Structure 1
Amino acid sequence: MKFQVEDRGNGPSWWLHGPDDELLAWAGRYFATLAFAAREAAVFKSAASVVDYEVYRQPDGGWGWRAVEPVGYCMASSAADFAHPGQARRATRSIRKHVSGAAGP
């Protein structure tokens, strides 16, 4: 896994890629600066194993997940739609287990 912090045209944000460069997660929003985006990626990296993950139904009928702090702040969101809620839950377990070893922030 690796984090990328960059501005892809909409503003700075961070994205988490898997071993085959598959997009796994992103911040779910854009930040004022690249430095702020990098800081938020580092915060998620350090907290990913202990935050709560919510699996939810998306408007298009698919399923997604989000990592939420106790105060309700969404730290990260799934980058893909899943056909079944179980797939989204499995993705959260993988993120929780592996993100601390990701390259980058």
Structure 2
Amino acid sequence: MKQIIHIEGMTCNGCRSDVEQQLQGIPAVKTASVSLSEKEGTLEVENYIEIEELQQHLAEKYTISKKSDRIAQELPSDEPSKLQQLKPLFLILFYITTASLLLHKDTWI
């Protein structure tokens, strides 16, 4: 499950890296990535982690805003199926075959 949090107090890439390392040090967090420009952290977690617990693992100068906390649902991929990917190829093959048959209809028995 992905958990997205809003983080205040980061001013440089060193801060971003520090927050990322502190979040990855939490046992329940599989991976953590932090964006300095968006002031957001995306955590891959096994179960939802309370804001207070996350805050305990960060230095005091970094604060997590509770109102911006949300859980991102895992959405199915929008990638088309193999059949949908091959549909244009089948259409081209159909048109070439049809045109070939129509051009050579005089040779039919």
Flag whether TM exceeds 0.5 (same fold).
no
Q: Which has the higher contact order (CA 8 A, sep 6+)?
A: 2
TM-score, length basis structure 2: 0.28
Task: Look at both structures and tell me which one has the larger radius of gyration over its CA atoms.
Answer: 2
TM-score, length basis structure 1: 0.29
The structure where helix makes up a greater share of residues is 2
